[in-house]
Amino acid sequence: MQGKTLPFSKEQLEKIIEKYPTPFHIYDEKGMVEYARYFNQCFEWNEGFKEFYAIKAAPNPYIMKILRKEGFGIDCSSMAELLLAEKVGMRGEEIMFTSNDTPAEEFKKAIELGAIINLDDISHIDFLNETTGMPDLVCFRYNPGALKGGNIIIGNPEDSKYGFTREQLFEGYKKLKSLGVKRFGLHTMVASNELDPDYFIETAEIVFDLIVDLHKELGIRFEFANLGGGIGIPYRNEHRPVNMKKVSKGIKERYESMIVANGLAPLRIYFESGRAITGPFGFLVSKVLHLKETYKKYVGLDASMANLMRPALYGAYHHITVLGKEDQPHTNLYDVTGSLCENNDKFAINRLLPEIKRGDIVVIHDTGAHGHSMGFNYNGKTRSAELLLRENGEVVQIRRRETIDDYFATLDFDGLKKFDV
Ligand SMILES: *Cc1c(COP(=O)(O)O)cnc(C)c1O
């Protein structure tokens, strides 16, 4: 089995499990930091380049603190995410607020923090103007419609609820000008989990092209192009990570032929990538509770889709390592399940694995994005802890596991005593 490896040894993980019972997610700081540096380095040519980490991937302030040190900003889309940014001490233009169907309080909070406001719809210009007044700097989210094919997670741009049409962009920026807005950005995000480098180069081309046309027609200068997220990760052994050097080179060529050539430089390139930043560096660690044989063979874990719902939600593949059995023949066909009363509570279906025994430790790979964060409490399952494996081998608990008291905290049992039926 080539490809997928673990950032910890069997002995090391067994020690961690003695202290922190399974299931838990554990993140590899070293891997994350190395990737963050690689990402920044790829775009060194662009002055002011910035990646705004899409915090929804793994909304943990410890992770944000690590990434901020690498120069990353934060991409928020809700009140809780803005408050998390504030808790980490982030302010101003290191916060990108890319929301949709946005409540007024969230715009207020974003403006109070000095965040860059990225509007999802033309009607939000008036909404913002009426509720908070216009900030100096405004960005619009573009939906290229039929110009660009989507993919399975995000769907077809024409069916997507996000963003402005091309015509609305022209109308919208004109309106911003008339409202006294002086600084402008343009954003688009049409892919999710995309592995083809050309896809991102084409996206840049579409955005640069628009920036040129908007400048010609409205005379406005753009400060930045936010190329969104959507950078895929190699969930499968046979996949390769997106070559960001190649992406960067393609974008640079277009930057020169379109932006520089039209006198529109400097233009800062922004990304708001989430999955690529933390996804490959998270692992869901779980123990085998039961083995079951009926029409098929089942491995029952102490984790469930409440800890990781991607397989059930999208049929997503997550690689599985049975700790210490990496080199044994993978000849047993299993469904790997959780304990929810839902038949789609499966981490893998018809997966060839080594022979599994009760008590084996099963590590599910690439859970660092949309893993713990998509967790839910169905069947009264409480969310797991999140641990951080530091570069020096130390382990820090960056979120404790939920207790049953947390789960019951919103119920009024005193009220129940007085409640007559
Ligand atoms: C989810 C999201 C991102 C991050 O997407 P990834 O696929 O995790 O890179 C960025 N921007 C917006 C607006 C998003 O909704």
Rounded to 5°, the CA angle 38-187-155 comes to: 90
Residues 266-302 have pLDDT tens digits of 999 999 999 999 999 999 999 999 999 999 999 999 9
Residue bearing the CA closest to ligand 1, atom 3: 229
Average pLDDT, the chain: 95
1 band by pLDDT with thresholds 50, 70 and 90: very low
Atom of ligand 1 nearest to the CA of 232: 7
- Ligand 1 contact via 54 beta carbon (within 6 Å): yes
Residue 293 CB burial class (10 angstroms; 0-12, 13-18, ≥19): exposed
Q: Is 120 left (phi over 0), alpha (psi -120 to 50) or beta?
A: alpha
The reported pLDDT for the residue numbered 9 is 96
Q: Say yes or no: CB of residue 98 within 6 Å of ligand 1.
A: yes
pLDDT for the residue 160? 80
Q: How far is the CA of 91 from the centre of ligand 1 (A)?
A: 20
Respond yes or no on whether the N-terminal peptide bond of residue 266 is cis (omega within 30° of 0). Answer: yes
What pLDDT is attached to residue 258? 98
Q: Cα(274) to centroid of ligand 1, in Å?
A: 6
Tens-digit pLDDT profile for residues 194-242: 999 999 999 999 999 999 999 999 999 999 999 999 999 999 999 999 9
Average pLDDT score over residue span 171-179: 97
Q: What is the pLDDT of residue 148?
A: 62
Better-predicted residue by pLDDT, 261 or 155: 261
Q: What is the pLDDT of residue 203?
A: 93
Note the pTM of the prediction, 2 decimals.
Answer: 0.96
Contacts of 21 (CB under 8 A, 6+ apart): none
Burial group, residue 151, by CB count within 10 angstroms (0-12, 13-18, 19+): middle
If pLDDT is split at 50, 70 and 90, which confidence band does 178 have? very high
pLDDT of residue 339: 96
CA 94 to CA 72: how far, in whole Å? 8
108-144 CB burial, b ≥16 within 10 A, e <16: ebbbebbbbbbbbbbebbeebeeebebbebbbbbbbb
Ligand 1 atom nearest 272 alpha carbon: 10
Q: Catalytic annotation on 42?
A: no
Atom of ligand 1 nearest to the CA of 370: 8
Mean pLDDT in residue range 357-365: 98
Residue nearest to atom 7 of ligand 1 (CA): 230
pLDDT in tens, 27-75: 999 999 999 999 999 999 999 999 999 999 999 999 999 999 999 999 9
- At residue 392, the pLDDT reads 95
273 lines ligand 1 (CB under 6 A): yes
Quickly state the pLDDT bin for 157 (edges 50, 70, 90): confident
Please give the pLDDT value at position 152. 46
Pocket perturbation via mutation, ligand 1, pick of 117, 189, 242, 281 by most ligand atoms within 8 A of CB: 189
